[in-house]
Chains A and B, each alone.
Chain A
Amino acid sequence: MKILVELSVNGERFEIATNPHATLLEVLRNQLGLTGAKEACGTGECGSCTVLADGRPILACLALAADYQDCEITTIEGLQAGSTLTPVQESFLEKGAVQCGFCTPGMVLSATALLKKNPAPTLDQIRKALEGNLCRCTGYNKILEAVRAAGEKMSQEASGSSGQ
């Protein structure tokens, strides 16, 4: 029997008839058409399905959709305002932190959550925040650089705007 699930995704409310056993990832990908979150393992090991729940990275593949009705879900599709890339997205691009791109949405979201909490993280803090996101292409060097650069960019923007 289907159940009615109310989700708040990227600032929009959705009422979705779905299975009680539907994961958040299935609902996002199959019912809302938000395919940015990927399933690479399905069992919580790789972080490709990362989305933010109230700003915190979670694994959509291990989240029951029905359990995440009372929070704000942010997917990679909901990060930008308009067509401007966020500082994290921009830095990933500029630093060469993207290759095949399959881990990228999860990486970008994990990094975004970290920098929101801590705009000037140490290398160890970046590693800790991204330890659940596997990447096979880059060796992580450029991802680390990108997160650092994005943090700097965000700090500059913040201080720039507060100075105005």
Chain B
Amino acid sequence: MQLPRFDLKRPSSFHEAVRLLVEYGNAAKISAGGTDLLPRMKYRIAAPATVISLKRIPVSEPFQDSEGNLHVHALVRLSDAASSNLVRTNAPALADAALAVGSEQIRNMGTLGGNVCLEPRCHYYNQSHAYQFMDPCFKRGGNLCYLVPKGNRCWALACSDTVPALIGLRAAAVVQSGDREYTIPVEELFTGDPVRPLCLGETDLITDIVVPAARPRTAVVFRKLSPRGGIDFATVNCAVMLKLSEDREACEDAIIAIGAVSGKPMRAGQAEKNLLGRKIAPDVIHEAAGRTASEIRPSMRCDCSISYLRKCIESLTQAALETAYQRASSGDGVKPD
């Protein structure tokens, strides 16, 4: 399978990359690891005139600043993120999520930033259209949806594994925008519209991910459900953060983030709120999982039903909450599995 023709730019810094983005505008696409963009280019769903490859930009090792915040370079390979001792110790959920992506080879190529910016996916969209589904759908610039023929929007799914983990960790992205740099919580990066999934400007690039210092009595846990346990994108993934009170019994803070079931990762806000101040017990966890499953509204998809997805959300959330409680209450809530 051949890539379409393009011109290749290989900047050696983010500054240079942003300059190139300004110069080429819409006609250019960024390739970090290439594992998301190149298949789409082979399918001819993406055909940029210029590809800006970030492979030459030097990647710094993850480090902790004086306040204990963990800085992870956006171009760190997912396998390096997963095996980094700093990441494993300070943000095990991120390490677990990075390790859950694709396969060994994908993780050796794909980057953390690339996974955060993963293009939403759909059975109808992620294939070539030489003789199947030829009319362009919303995501290909047309105005129809094959999945929901009477619908007026795109239903592609945001499938990143690392994003829910980063939301659970309350991580932020450092963005290079022209000569300026700004920081934005990872959760706020997403529009919810699969056609234009990112809130970033067209010439913005994520350069770093910053994970705030781990807090006491707190655990963040990532879980993924997929048919095969490897290679697959998640059917559902989930990250939960649980902070316990000083007596380690009641919930002081909680995040439940569910990914892969809609156009952006979803928070179960009501379930979270309902946990606050309550003494954690099996029935409370069960209730929270149930609430999560009823408040998250999974999008339609063609390989399983919504009621099945709800069931998956429930059991996955339950498992994640159980583990999080165990870890947070055992005192070393930040240690990996």
Contact = CB atoms under 8 A, between A and B. Distances in A.
Touch between chains A and B, by CB atoms below 8 Å: yes
A132 B42 contact: no
B183 interface: no
Contact of A132 (B39, B43, B53, B230): B230
Interface residues on A, range: 20 to 34
Contacts, number: 91
Interface string B37-49: 0110011000000
Contacts of B229: 131
Nearest to A61: B1
Contacts of B230: 127-128, 131-132
Contact of A44 (B4, B6, B105): B105
Interface string A8-29: 0000000000011111001000
A45 B127 CA distance: 13
A4 interface: no
Nearest to A113: B104
A67 B104 contact: no
Interface in B225-247: 229-231
Contacts of A21: 2-6, 8, 51
B11 interface: no
B55 interface: yes
Contacts of B85: none
A41 to B, nearest CB: 8
Interface in A120-135: 127-134
Contacts of A119: none
A87 interface: no
A132 B3 contact: no
A57 interface: yes
Given A62-B39, A64-B53, A44 B3 contact: no
- Mostly, the A contact residues are mixed
B34 A67 contact: yes
A149 interface: no
Interface in B41-74: 42-43, 51, 53, 55
Contact of A42 (B5, B42, B55, B99): B42
A66 B8 CA distance: 9
A69 to B, nearest CB: 9
Contact of B105 (A42, A43, A57, A67): A57
A94 to B, nearest CB: 24
B5 A64 contact: no
Contacts of A67: 10, 34, 53, 55
Given A21-B3, A130-B104, 9 more contacts: A20-B51, A21-B6, A43-B1, A59-B106, A59-B109, A64-B8, A64-B31, A131-B103, A131-B230
24 contacts: A21-B6, A39-B1, A43-B1, A44-B38, A44-B105, A50-B105, A56-B108, A58-B105, A62-B35, A62-B38, A63-B34, A66-B10, A110-B104, A110-B105, A128-B104, A130-B104, A131-B103, A131-B104, A131-B229, A131-B230, A132-B102, A132-B106, A132-B230, A133-B103
Interface of A: 3, 19-23, 26, 39, 42-45, 47, 50, 53, 56-59, 61-64, 66-67, 110, 127-134
